[in-house]
Every structure is written in structure tokens, then in C-alpha cells.
Amino acid sequence: MNDLPKSPDDCETMIEVRAGVDATDRALIELFATRFCYMRAAARIKPTRDAVRDEERKRAVIEAATAHASAIGVPTAVVAEMWEVLVEASIAYEMDEWERLRG
């Protein structure tokens, strides 16, 4: 039996839809874990606490995410809002890691 969920276009029941959503959520969490590993690396590399918050980089990351969303037909306002939260959470995490490493 194939454990992979059906594609959205092939789903015929809500059970199949939910299986696809659940599998997608698990994949997103794995990707978030990788992203936060990069935040730990940034905390290790950045020389000063002030270097952790970079508003220009934050803006660029959100703009890139919304541009990609637009290109593939995902609602840009939703992505912009989610990425604002994600980037702020990443900054907070990186700040905590920066302080932990230099404690």
C-alpha cells in the first residue's frame, strides 16, 4: 500500500484531503526545523547582538516569499502575514541562541 497522500486533484473524500493536509503539515514542520537550524548557525556566526536584527534582510525575505507566492498562485497577503510571524519568531530564537552561546 502507498503511504503517500493523493494529490489534491485526485482526492475524492475528506479523509483523503485530511491525509494530504496532515502530510503537508509534517513536511512543513521538518522545513521549519531546518530553518531554525540556520538561525542557530546565524547566532553562532554573527559577531554582535545588534547584528541579529536586520530590518533590511527581514524586508527582503518577506518580499521574496510574497513574490514566490504570487508566482505560484498562493494568496500573497496570507504569506506576508505568516512570514512576518515566522521572521519575527526566527529573530527571537536567534537572539536567544546568540545570548545562550555567549552566556
Q: Which domains does the chain have, with CATH numbers?
A: 13-102 (1.20.59.10)
CA distances from 99 to 68, 87, 92 (A): 33, 18, 11
Q: Is 55 annotated as a binding residue?
A: no
35 has binding-site annotation:
yes
Does the global pTM surpass 0.75? yes
58 annotated as belonging to a binding site for a ligand: no
In 3D space, the residue among 66, 90, 94 whose CA is nearest the CA of residue 80 turns out to be: 66
pLDDT tens for 35-74 read 999 999 999 999 999 999 999 999 999 999 999 999 999 9
59 known member of a binding site: no
- Does an H or E element contain 42, and which? helix 14-45
Residue 92 DSSP symbol: H
Average pLDDT (78-85) is: 98
